[in-house]
Structures are given as C-alpha cells and as structure tokens.
Amino acid sequence: MKPQGLAYAVSLRVCNADYLLLWQDGGDMPDKYCVQPGAMQFLLARTSTELLRKATKFELKIADQEPVVMDLDKAFRVLAALRPNKTSSERSCQILLDAWNTLEDMARSLNISLEGKIEDMELLHVAYDKLFYGNNLSPVTPVNENYNPLFSSEERRVMRSYFRQMWCEILERTGQFSSEH
C-alpha cells in the first residue's frame, strides 16, 4: 500500500550511523513507519533534502518540526547495563520504552510478528509495564511520588532477547542497516 498523508521525520541512530525515516501516527490504527511501495524497505534517507524529495514522490507531507531523535545504539547500551538489585532511572525507562515502541512500529510496518517466537510473553508484558510506569508520567504517577523499577534477571533476559529478535528480523527483512546489535 502506498504511504500517504502527514508523516513525522525520525532521526534513527543505529549501528553508529544516522538515518532519517518517516513515521505516521495511526490514529485508531497502529502507528507505522513509511515503507516503499512494493518493497520491504523503509523510506529512508541520509539528509533532510533527500527525505523531502522521497516524501514528495510518495505524496507525503512532512510535519514542520525537528526530527525526533531515536538512538537505538544508546537503547541497546542501556538495556545491556541493567543490573540486578539496581533500580532503573526514569531516563533509562524513557530510553528503553521509546526504543521498544520504535522497534515494534518498525516491525509492524514490515508485517513482522514475533507471536509464538517469544518464550515468555507474560514476563515480557510485566517488563513493559515496569518501563511504562518508570516513565513517571503525570496522569499515571501520583504527585510527589516516583517509581524506579527493579528488573529481575529473567525480565532483563527476556527484554534483551525481544529487542535482539525484533532488530534481527528487521535487518533480515530490509537489509538496510548494519547488524552490530
């Protein structure tokens, strides 16, 4: 299906390289990244001029704002640095939750599903909830309170596995990025 409508520029840092991609809010549907019609590759560029040219070709309008920066390299480092008996900071939870959502949006855009490939989905959902609450969003966290989650060895293991599996599937499907993680 041909991408169309309003898109937001995302600066993706991965494998020590920077790429510009276009993300679309799904509204009532799931969010997604723009994929080239007829190909399992993201509509990506190295410069804003190139991104604008590609967006125009596919009749996409890019929102007038600075690109959101998503540093997957940093997210993989934060994920690797999670330790037992050490609570996670709000910043670490933000980085990991943003990366998780980015990877899931990217996978969904390529029709990648990890259903049946994850050994402990229930534990994965617990880890996601901890990251979500660890962001301490005002509508969720009571005033003057703060939540800094502690992840078990199994939660850390299943998160690392999930991130790695999503990233490997994306690499395999597109061939667009290096495979450092």
- Per-residue pLDDT tens over the stretch 21-55: 999 998 899 999 999 888 889 999 999 999 999 99
Compute the C-alpha angle 167/48/174, nearest 5°. Answer: 25
139 against 155, higher pLDDT: 155
Pairing assessment for the beta strands 17-24 and 5-14 based on DSSP bridges: antiparallel
Stretch 116-129: mean pLDDT, rounded?
A: 87
114 confidence band (pLDDT: 50, 70, 90): confident
Mean pLDDT for all residues in the chain: 91
User: Any residues with CB less than 8 A from the CB of 59 and at least 6 apart, and which?
Assistant: 2, 4
Domain boundaries, the chain: 5-174
Please determine, for residue 150, whether its predicted confidence score (pLDDT) is greater than 90. Answer: yes
Residue whose C-alpha is closest to residue 58's, from 46, 41, 77: 41
pLDDT for residue 142 is more than 90: no
Q: Alpha-carbon distance 130 to 123, whole Å?
A: 11
Looking at residue 2, its pLDDT comes to 57
Tell me the three-class secondary structure of 7-24, residue by residue.
Answer: EEEEEEEECCEEEEEEEE
**Packing angle between helix 121-134 and helix 90-109, nearest 10 degrees?**
130
What are the pLDDT digits (tens) for 55-96?
999 889 999 889 999 999 999 999 999 998 899 999 999 999
Residue for token pair 């991609």: 21
Q: Which of 86-95, 123-132, 134-143 has the lowest mean pLDDT?
A: 134-143
CB-based contact 38:48 (threshold 8 Å)? no
